[in-house]
Structure 1
Amino acid sequence: MNTVEPPPGRLARNAFGRLVWSAPGAAGEEVVPVRAFPLGDPDGCIALVNAAGRELAWIERLDALPEAMRRLVSEELAGRDFMPGILRIVSVSGYATPCTWQVETDRGPAVLSLRSEQDIRRVAPSSLLIADGNGLHFLVRDVAALDRASRRLLDRFL
């Protein structure tokens, strides 16, 4: 098994609360962590990019970072990422689009409007990305983990 080394450098917050990456022999620069595969591998392949979008460091695996650095990156990603996960489909207003769905998410209850069947996209064999008519995206991490009633409602749209 190959061990993954953290990138050489230091990550800290500046006085304004922004992340600063200091590589050996270089001045510190404000960075933002960006996931390469946010849905397929959220804990792997993270780039630290500057304001111009230039990659300053590459993190192969989040869990390979020292605890303090991992916490900083995780906090920053949590503040940037907002994609509620659908846990249950409570009801749908109809089986033809456009329609309204009432769902329970990992962030609480939500109502989303589905404009067409194309708003539901498969992003992995068992994961779906659902685009709401208002521009929000909802994730079904594992279709098989949904309860039977939710799967039955979802099947009518797939």
Structure 2
Amino acid sequence: MTTQFKLTRNAYGKLILTTPEGDVHEGVAPVRAFPVQAPEDGISLVNTDGKEVGWIDRIEDLDAQAGALVREELAGREFMPEISRIHNVTSYATPCTWTVTTDRGETEFVLRGEEDIRRLTVDTLLISDIHGIHFLVRDLRELDKHSKKILDRFL
């Protein structure tokens, strides 16, 4: 589908998509096709049954109001803190507790096993904690020496 649609929010806070044909879909949810590699590109709008009812090539192509609604909805649905520094790990054997700084503040999480650190690209990692929360290391090259040394022990 094209991005020639109208996107609004109803009184209950649900997103409403009105297609060019006049079809109204209440309670749509944006879903990123490529959440790590291209978070602003390829957004599917799905209805409450999980069926795609709209497609956004790039959020920046939307008008300011619709773009803000999509970003706001995505932010409320997604939680993937980006690790900017690894301060400490309790052990180099798993399970162990990591103390890190993320884009959402300082936190601790438990790494169950080394298999919970997945390499997405050469410089991008996805780390899952014991509760299933995903932490992103967007670019290994941007981490400080201490953080890289800790990660090297697990990779």
**TM-score normalised according to structure 2 size:** 0.95
Unaligned runs of 5+ in 1: 1-5
Question: SS in structure 1 opposite 2:60?
Answer: helix
Distance 1:27 1:65 in 2: 19
Aligned-residue offset at 1:24: 1.9
Aligned length: 154
Q: Does 1:36 align with 2:37?
A: no
Question: SS in structure 1 opposite 2:154?
Answer: coil
Question: SS in structure 2 opposite 1:72?
Answer: helix
After superposition, the CA RMSD in angstroms is 1.3
- AA aligned to 1:82 is F
Aligned to 1:127: 124
Aligned to 1:25: 21
Equivalences for residues 7-156 of structure 1 within 5 A: 7-30=3-26, 31-156=28-153
Aligned-residue offset at 1:83: 0.6
Distance 1:154 1:99 in 2: 13
The alignment-based identity, stated in percent, is 52
Question: Any conservation in 2 of the 1:84–1:137 contact (CA below 8 Å)?
Answer: yes
- AA aligned to 1:16 is Y
Unaligned runs of 5+ in 2: none
Q: Please say which of residues 21-30 and 77-86 is displaced more in the overlay.
A: 21-30
**TM-score normalised according to structure 1 size:** 0.93
Report runs of 4+ in structure 1 exceeding 6 Å deviation: none
Q: Please say which of residues 58-67 and 19-28 is displaced more in the overlay.
A: 19-28
Distance 1:144 1:24 in 2: 45
